[in-house]
């Protein structure tokens, strides 16, 4: 998955390059800078001394020394002055310049801390949005796996409003189903005793006419030959119908090219549920179409599952921004899409 938000200590990341939130001297400091220098060892400072510092919004690269990462990209974020001193532009530039250096060194994977969001005071939610916007823009034209590493969960917050809207939606749709209120039980009983208006009988309950095969053809082999459209067939059909290219679709789904090729090449490919949902989001399918697509992969959206309710919240609000969805899933301790 090209962009992932993970909770970790960045010095432990097994990637080609990690990014350091440095100051313009590049000679070390507190926060993540201090952790990186400590973990990389004294040779890092020796190399940093040769670099002649770095201006705000720019980046320089060194070796990784004792770190698992091969390179360290040092970038200098802006200090927060209330948002009136070009902070956003400068922070965007930090991400862009760092990614540019990583691409020049052919890095396949890079991990970023939330630059400027500690000692430099940039509000974390705004800093995260800048990170996501610039990185996802970059990934539209570059093959790379990029991690945003969040150090402490308490510090990671989606906006209060979004969080409370989703929490309310979960309460309405998830908790309700788990209450034993008399009204709810009666409603369920009524539903259970009523024949469904659109039944989907098990195959064994069908008479030959109902399934659309002449009786003589009703053997397992012929039924198996007349399967419905598969997940991958539906995916490719929807990509065409939406006028998208394959690359637009898998990038928007935050899925890597190799996985997409596998799906394209195998008509019976069975994706994981997060992958199937990621494609539904990328294609901006309605809730009904999403359920149809999931069914083809053997899944459903259920109100007994927090992950599903969050997905349903976003689709029913017409919000198909996979990175925002992932932020919300992360905030509610759920696995992320596109894996």
In angstroms, the CA 155 to CA 118 distance is 10
> Smallest distance, Å, CB 150 to ligand AR6?
7
Does residue 117 interact with ligand AR6 by CB under 6 A? yes
The single residue among 1, 4, 19, 32 that binds ligand AR6, judged by CB under 6 A, is: 32
Instruction: Scan residues 151-180 and list those touching ligand AR6 (CB under 6 A).
Output: 151-152, 155
Region near ligand AR6 per CB under 6 A, out of 47-55, 113-121, 130-138, 212-220 = 113-121
Least distance to ligand AR6 from the beta carbon of 339, Å?
21
Distance CA 337, CA 322 (A): 8
Contact 150, 54 (CB under 8 A): no
Backbone φ and ψ of 75, nearest 5°: -125, 150
Contact 90, 56 (CB under 8 A): yes
**Pairing of the two strands 59-63 and 71-76:** antiparallel
Q: Does the protein bind ligand AR6 through residue 35 (CB under 6 A)? A: yes
Neighbours of 160 (CB within 10 A): 9
CA 280 – CA 89 distance, rounded (Å):
33
Q: Would you mind telling me the total number of residues written for the chain in this entry?
A: 339
Q: Which is nearer to ligand AR6, 62 or 173 (CB)?
A: 62
Are 148 and 128 in contact by the 8 Å Cβ rule? The answer is yes
Does residue 113 interact with ligand AR6 by CB under 6 A? yes
Q: Which is nearer to ligand AR6, 62 or 116 (CB)?
A: 116
Of these, 21, 325, 329, 331, which contacts ligand AR6 (CB under 6 A)? 21
Q: Which of 33, 87, 97, 327 binds ligand AR6 (CB under 6 A)?
A: 33
Is residue 30 involved in binding ligand AR6 (CB under 6 A)? yes
In angstroms, rounded to a whole number, what is the distance separating the alpha carbons of residues 99 and 258? 21
Interface with ligand AR6 includes 9 (CB under 6 A)?
Answer: yes
Nearer to ligand AR6, 31 or 320 (CB): 31
Over the window 268 to 287, marking each residue x when it contacts ligand AR6 by CB under 6 A and - when it does not, the resulting string is --------------------
The counts of H helices and E strands in the chain are 15, 6
Tell me which residues touch ligand AR6 (CB under 6 A): 9-11, 21-23, 29-33, 35, 77, 113-120, 149, 151-152, 155
């Amino acid at each position: 998955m090209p962009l992932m938000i993970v909770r970790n200590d960045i010095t432990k990341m097994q990637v080609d390059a990690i990014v350091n939130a440095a100051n313009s001297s590049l000679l070390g400091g507190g926060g993540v800078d201090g952790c990186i220098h400590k973990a990389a060892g004294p040779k890092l400072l020796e190399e940093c001394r040769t670099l002649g510092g770095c201006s705000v919004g720019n980046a320089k690269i060194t070796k990784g020394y004792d770190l698992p990462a091969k390179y360290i990209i040092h970038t200098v974020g802006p200090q927060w002055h209330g948002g009136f001193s070009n902070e956003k532009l400068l922070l965007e530039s930090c991400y862009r310049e760092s990614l540019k250096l990583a691409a020049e060194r052919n890095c396949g994977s890079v991990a970023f801390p939330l630059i400027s969001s500690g000692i430099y005071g940039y509000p974390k939610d705004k800093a995260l949005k800048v990170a996501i916007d610039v990185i996802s823009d970059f990934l539209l034209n570059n093959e790379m796996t990029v991690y945003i590493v969040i150090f402490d969960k308490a510090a990671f917050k989606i906006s209060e409003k979004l969080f409370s809207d989703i929490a309310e939606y979960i309460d309405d749709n998830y908790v309700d189903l788990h209450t034993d209120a008399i009204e709810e039980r009666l409603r369920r009983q009524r539903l259970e005793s009523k024949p469904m208006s659109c039944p989907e009988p098990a195959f064994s309950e069908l008479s030959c006419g109902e399934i659309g095969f002449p009786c003589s053809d009703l053997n397992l082999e012929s039924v198996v030959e007349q399967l419905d459209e598969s997940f991958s067939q539906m995916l490719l059909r929807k990509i065409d119908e939406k006028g998208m290219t394959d690359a637009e679709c898998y990038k928007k789904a935050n899925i890597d090219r190799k996985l997409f090729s596998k799906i394209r090449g195998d008509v019976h490919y069975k994706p994981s549920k997060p992958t199937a949902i990621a494609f539904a989001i990328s294609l901006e399918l309605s809730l009904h179409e999403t359920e149809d697509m999931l069914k083809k992969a053997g899944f459903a959206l259920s109100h007994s599952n927090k992950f599903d309710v969050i997905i349903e919240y976003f689709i029913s609000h017409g919000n198909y921004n996979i990175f925002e969805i992932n932020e919300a899933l992360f905030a509610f301790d759920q696995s992320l899409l596109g894996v």
